[in-house]
């Protein structure tokens, strides 16, 4: 019972998987090509884009797998939220540091602010999955406590 | 990349989007009819990708080129991935995910055409 069943894919989770998957796909392909072909032009922006893309991939994976990946996914979403807020603010305050756009520039404006909204939804969803699993766990614990013979076999 | 094909693909994506929203509202699951629309969209996207990649040389700006190439390669994966998830998921949210996928396809194809036109 150390690892309760945390199914993250059912219900709203499937919509998040698609949204994260699309963002991960778009960001990964683009940043890989940018880093490979044109790294010198904007090293900071391209490195950030690549890191962001990898974390989107990680979050997508966590959403699909559920289970113990829920905790990893929570960290991934927190990282994304921090990234979009920090880089978003920095791109407004110091635009010269970002000659080329990243997913996180201007709070994800280039992607319809999706990068700003998704981590919040992701965090809410992971929290719900976690709470449901804990509630199920507690229920099972009280059930087996009420009927110890059943579990003792 | 011909503009006519882009219109057809975007129209198919919008049809799939509208159908998915309708199905989600009516609490229906994926069926053959909507899957056929997704398949048609997929065929259109593959043709678009072949066209686009063959004309990749005319886009000079490296950033735009990176965006164009990566979108072109990743966009045909979306209907396949979403359809698989949608068939497996047996709740109203399934059609919601199809709608998100269809919307993403429409936006990405429009962006592709925009890049293509700016280098014509």
pLDDT tens digits, A126-146 = 999 989 888 888 888 888 888
Q: Which pLDDT does position B58 carry in this prediction?
A: 85
Q: Is B89 on the interface with A (CB under 8 A)?
A: yes
Q: Are B86 and B99 in contact (CB under 8 A)?
A: no
Whole-angstrom Cα Rg for chain A: 20
Q: Which residues of A touch B (CB under 8 A)?
A: 9-15, 17-19, 21-22, 25-26, 28-30, 32-34, 37-38, 41, 100, 112
Most confident of A5-14, A27-36, B41-50, B109-118: B41-50
Cβ <8 Å between B104 and A22 = yes
| Angstrom distance (rounded) from CA A64 to CA B78 | 16
Do B54 and B47 contact (CB within 8 A), yes or no? no
In contact, A49 and A102? CB cutoff 8 Å: yes
Residues B46-67: tens digit of each pLDDT: 999 999 999 888 888 887 888 8
pLDDT band at A153 (very low <50, low <70, confident <90, very high): very low
CA gap B25, A52 in Å, rounded: 34
Q: Is the pLDDT of residue A147 over 90?
A: no
Asked whether the predicted pLDDT for residue A18 surpasses 60, the reply is yes
How would you class B66 by CB atoms within 10 Å of its CB: exposed for 0-12, middle for 13-18, buried for 19 or more? buried
Q: In chain B, how many domains are there?
A: 1
Which residues fall within 8 angstroms of residue B79, CB to CB, at 6 or more apart?
B16, B38, B39, B41, B42, B45, B101, B102, B105
CB-based burial label for A67 (10 Å; 0-12, 13-18, 19+): middle
Which of the listed ranges A40-44, A139-143, B12-16, B65-69 does the model predict with the highest average pLDDT? Answer: B12-16
Q: Supply φ then ψ for residue B42, to 5 degrees.
A: -60, -45
Instruction: Assess whether pLDDT exceeds 60 at residue A3.
Output: no
CB-based contact (8 Å) between B77 and chain A? Answer: yes
Is the CB of A26 less than 8 angstroms away from the CB of B108? yes
- With tokens 């009516």, the residue in question is B26
B57: domain CATH number?
Answer: 1.20.120
Query: pTM for the full model?
Result: 0.86
Interval A33-58 mean pLDDT: 86
Interface pTM (ipTM) of the complex? 0.88
Residue B47 sits in which domain range? 3-118
User: How confident is residue A2, by pLDDT bands cut at 50, 70 and 90?
Assistant: very low
- pLDDT for position A151: 52
Q: What string of DSSP letters covers A87-150?
A: HHHHHHH-GGG-SS--TTGGGGGGGTTHHHHHHHHHHHHHHHHHHHHHHHHHHHHHHHHH-HHH
Query: Residue A59: pLDDT above 90?
Result: yes
Would the CB atoms of A34 and B65 count as touching at under 8 Å? no
Q: Is A47 exposed, middle or buried (0-12, 13-18, 19+ CB in 10 A)?
A: middle
Note the pLDDT of residue A1. Answer: 35
**The length of chain B, given as a count of residues:** 120
Average pLDDT of every residue of chain B: 92
| Segment among A24-38, B40-54, B67-81, B93-107 with least mean pLDDT | A24-38
Instruction: Tokens for A24, please give them.
Output: 């991960």
Q: Does residue A119 carry a pLDDT above 80?
A: yes
Residues B38, B79 contacting (CB under 8 angstroms): yes
| Contact between A76 and A55 (Cβ < 8 Å) | yes
Helix or strand or coil: residue B31? coil
Contact A37 B66 (CB under 8 A): yes
pLDDT at B83: 95
Q: How far is CA A44 from CA A9, A96, A108, B12, B54, in A?
A: 34, 11, 16, 38, 31
Are A100 and B66 within 8 A, CB to CB?
no
CB proximity under 8 Å: B 27-56 to A: none
Contact call for B89 and A10, based on CB within 8 A: yes
* pLDDT tens, residue by residue, A61-106: 999 988 889 999 999 999 999 999 998 999 889 888 776 777 888 8
pLDDT of the residue at B1: 64
Q: Does B23 score more than 80 pLDDT?
A: yes
Distance CA A57, CA A59 (A): 5
């Amino acid at each position: 019972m150390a690892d309760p069943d945390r199914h993250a894919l059912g219900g709203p989770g499937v919509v998040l998987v698609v949204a994260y998957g699309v963002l991960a796909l778009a960001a990964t392909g683009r940043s890989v090509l940018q880093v490979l072909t044109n790294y010198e032009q904007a090293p900071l922006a391209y490195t950030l884009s690549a890191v962001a893309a990898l974390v989107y991939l990680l979050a997508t994976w966590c959403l699909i797998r559920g289970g113990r990946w829920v905790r990893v996914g929570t960290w991934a979403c927190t990282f994304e939220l921090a990234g979009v807020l920090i880089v978003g603010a920095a791109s407004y305050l110091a635009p010269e540091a970002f000659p080329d756009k990243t997913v996180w520039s201007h709070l994800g404006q280039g992607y319809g602010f999706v990068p700003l909204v998704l981590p919040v939804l992701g965090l809410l969803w992971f929290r719900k999955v976690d709470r449901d699993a804990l509630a199920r766990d507690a229920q099972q614990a009280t059930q087996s406590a009420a009927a110890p013979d059943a579990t003792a076999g | 990349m011909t503009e006519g094909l882009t219109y057809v693909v975007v129209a198919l994506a919008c049809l799939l989007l509208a159908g998915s929203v309708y199905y989600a509202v009516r609490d229906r699951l994926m069926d053959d009819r909507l899957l056929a629309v997704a398949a048609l969209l997929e065929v259109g996207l593959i043709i678009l990708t072949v066209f686009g990649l063959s004309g990749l040389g005319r886009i000079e700006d490296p950033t735009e080129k990176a965006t164009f190439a990566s979108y072109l390669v990743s966009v045909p994966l979306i209907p396949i991935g979403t359809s698989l998830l949608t068939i497996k998921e047996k709740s109203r949210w399934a059609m919601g995910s199809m709608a998100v996928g269809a919307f993403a396809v429409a936006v990405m194809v429009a962006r592709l055409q925009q890049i293509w036109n700016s280098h014509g």
